């Protein structure tokens, strides 16, 4: 059976569609806006959502909707006559505001052989194996890169292209048996709001997978516990000529907060399961300074300890300079999905088996970040994360191998087939 299954992919013209789809999607401006008070954060996401909904109807999916929040959902009906769990596949439509996502001009490098790739000679943007040794893993493959002026958007338009191509393939090949499949494309994942209006009850899936991971083989069901902290430091501005024992320079006070937090727990010094305090913003003058942090740890006990340390440091500064010198606003953002996925670990095993079946070595690891799947798992929809194939997200060095996207399509199809087996 598997030989026939693999052969159908190898000889299938439709597999080339994943490349064509990604090139089209990447050129659409869908950057989310972290400063917006609307949902979605940018109306351009609604325009893209309508385009995707139209394409889903064209390939023959049922129950295609785009709701007022920008969520696109659709159904591939079951083609088996026995009860089968309903599975979902999810990707996000927006791209990160960390780097320009407007006027994306993707470049296709055929048969990459390990050379330096000059993305932008004017700005001296070079994608080099010396800086990014993972490039050498893809010798002989086809790469999609930026032109050095924008990000690429493989996070997560590669996921969109893979899911739609897989659904198209299943529609065109009814001999591959599958149960009911639900798909959803979400807005605003990059600003942490991707599941804000996601209706788990209405989606009606027993479990799902986000296609939002990195390199080929990634399979993740652990992620950070996450919190955000905004700190306002109030100073006292006095003429510097008569400032002795009078001035409180809020910028200097803010640096004391920074220095009080452990330097070895910054992102640049951590890896694996090590959490961190990450200073993301510093803006101020003598009288007022605002700093922002994100706090991350996979271990819930260590996560709570990090938050408590942040509180204690701010209290110490207030003791030193006077009450209300420092105002701390801290809130949890998302939690580790492991607690919700482990009771149904078979869904991870299922994805692992699918990868092995299509010739991929699974790389099961913890996410040093978060996905929509983490929040969905806590909403009642267990949702591990599968690779979409890209590297170096959120910047001009981003790239994705075409063959990795093709393998992601195979994994989706194989998961559907495995679930449908009695």
Question: Are 88 and 182 a contacting pair, CB within 8 Å?
Answer: yes
pLDDT in tens, 86-143: 999 999 999 999 999 999 999 999 999 999 999 998 888 999 999 999 999 999 999 9
Return d(Cα 88, Cα 186) in angstroms, integer.
13
Q: Are residues 243 and 196 in the same domain?
A: no
Amino acid 371: pLDDT: 80
Number of domains, the chain: 2
Q: Is 55 a catalytic residue?
A: no
* Active-site hit among 33, 162, 168, 189: 189
pLDDT number for residue 2: 53
Active-site position among 33, 55, 94, 372: 94
CB-based burial of residue 280 (10 Å sphere; 0-12 exposed, 13-18 middle, 19+ buried)? Answer: exposed
From residue 9, give the alpha-carbon distance in Å to each of 173, 328, 347: 10, 55, 24
Low-confidence ranges of the chain (pLDDT < 50): 1
Q: Are residues 132 and 254 in the same domain?
A: no
Query: What is the span of the domain harbouring residue 397?
Result: 2-222+336-420
Given a contact cutoff of 8 angstroms between Cβ atoms, the answer to whether 254 and 397 are in contact is no
Q: What is the pLDDT of residues 365-377, one digit of tens each?
A: 898 887 889 899 9
Q: What is the CATH number of the domain that holds 132?
A: 3.40.630.10
| Model pLDDT, residue 409 | 95
Per the annotation, the verdict on 189 as an active-site residue is yes
Token pair recorded at residue 288: 């007022």
State if pTM tops 0.85: yes
Instruction: Say if residue 249 is in the same domain as residue 195.
Output: no
Q: Are both 120 and 207 inside the same structural domain?
A: yes
The pLDDT score that the predictor gives to residue 5 is: 57
């Amino acid at each position: 059976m598997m030989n026939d299954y693999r052969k159908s992919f190898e000889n299938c013209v439709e597999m080339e569609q994943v490349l064509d789809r990604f090139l089209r999607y990447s050129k659409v401006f869908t950057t989310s806006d972290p400063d917006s008070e609307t949902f979605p954060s940018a109306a351009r996401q609604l325009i893209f959502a309508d385009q995707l909904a139209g394409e889903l109807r064209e390939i023959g999916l049922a129950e295609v909707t785009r709701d007022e929040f920008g969520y696109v959902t659709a159904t591939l009906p079951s083609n088996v006559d026995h009860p089968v769990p309903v599975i979902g596949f999810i990707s996000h439509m927006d791209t990160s505001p960390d780097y320009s996502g407007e006027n994306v001009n993707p470049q296709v490098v055929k048969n990459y052989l390990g050379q330096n790739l000059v993305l932008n000679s004017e700005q001296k943007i070079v994608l080099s194996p010396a800086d990014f040794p993972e490039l050498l893993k893809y010798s002989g493959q086809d790469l999609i890169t930026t032109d050095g002026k924008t990000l690429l958007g493989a996070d997560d338009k590669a996921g969109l292209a893979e899911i739609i191509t897989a659904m198209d393939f299943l529609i065109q090949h009814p001999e591959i048996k599958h149960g009911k499949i639900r798909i959803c494309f979400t807005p605003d994942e990059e600003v942490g709001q991707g599941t804000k209006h996601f209706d788990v009850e209405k989606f009606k899936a027993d479990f799902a997978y986000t296609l939002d991971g990195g390199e080929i083989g990634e399979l993740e069901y652990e992620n950070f516990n996450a919190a955000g902290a905004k700190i306002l430091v109030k100073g006292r501005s006095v003429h510097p000529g008569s400032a002795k024992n009078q001035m409180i320079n809020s910028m200097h006070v803010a640096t004391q907060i920074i220095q009080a937090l452990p330097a070895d727990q910054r992102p640049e010094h951590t890896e694996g399961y090590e959490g961190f305090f990450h200073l993301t913003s510093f803006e101020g003058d003598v009288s007022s300074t605002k700093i922002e942090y994100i706090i991350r740890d996979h271990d819930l006990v260590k996560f709570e300890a990090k938050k408590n340390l942040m509180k204690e440091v701010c209290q110490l500064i207030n003791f030193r300079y006077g009450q209300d010198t420092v105002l701390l606003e801290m809130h949890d953002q998302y939690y580790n999905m492991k607690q919700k996925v482990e009771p149904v670990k078979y869904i991870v095993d299922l994805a692992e088996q699918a990868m092995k079946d299509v010739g991929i070595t699974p790389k099961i690891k913890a996410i040093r970040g978060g996905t929509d799947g983490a929040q969905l798992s806590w909403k009642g929809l267990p949702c591990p994360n599968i690779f979409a194939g890209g590297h170096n997200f959120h910047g001009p060095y981003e790239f994705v191998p075409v063959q990795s996207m093709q393998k992601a399509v195979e994994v989706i199809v194989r998961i559907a087939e495995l679930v449908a087996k009695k």
